Amino acid sequence: MIEFEESTHTYKVDGVVCPSTTQIMSAIGLVRPYIGDPWFGERGTAVHSASVMIDNFTLDYNSVDPAIEGFVDAYFHFKDETRMEFEHSEVPLSHTTYRYCGTPDRFLPLLDLKTGAGDVIQLEAYAELLRANGYDPGRTGYMLHLKADGTYKLEPHKYDRKLLGVFLAACSVWHYRNEKGLL
């Protein structure tokens, strides 16, 4: 059983803390740990929440903070122009073999929303999470870059087993370092 505590971004599987894709990638150096203004992380969280409400037709546009309005508009434009539909949103998943967790933004098809930089290795990790949980992610995942000016860029990525191998190696190193008290 997987539990996710949103306020601390902590996953637990059967009561045991489990690292997220982002924690693994940051700790092992696949991405730079973010040490900037926490406002940008809060902005991303707010945009993600608004996008889920858009998908569920529950967003009150009058409640949108002007600081994220452009990003919300970008998601509206994306939905209107592409007509992409998803089977699932923001579902925490765990991989029992490789012992990591993550919450793909949307899946079937797999889509990762970004208000800043993104990395396709995370998309590979999410595709593997889907496979481990009985979903077929297809051959292509997408990164959706939402921009403050109300525009977006949709980037398709064919899955690459080499990139998945990089993530799984990082996952193994993370677990080794954690077990040795080196994290």
Q: Decide if pLDDT at 117 tops 90.
A: no
**pTM beyond cutoff 0.85:** yes
Of 47, 37, 24, nearest in space to 100 by CA: 24
* pLDDT band for position 96 (cuts 50, 70, 90): very high
Q: What is the CATH number of the domain that holds 110?
A: 3.90.320.10
Interval 120-140 mean pLDDT: 97
CA distances from 81 to 14, 75, 115 (A): 41, 10, 19
The pair of three-digit structure tokens given for residue 172, joined into one six-digit string = 């193994």
Report pLDDT for 90: 93
- Look up the domain containing 140 and give its range: 2-179
Counted domains in the chain? 1
- As a whole number of angstroms, the distance between CA 33 and CA 26 comes to 5
* pLDDT band for position 35 (cuts 50, 70, 90): confident
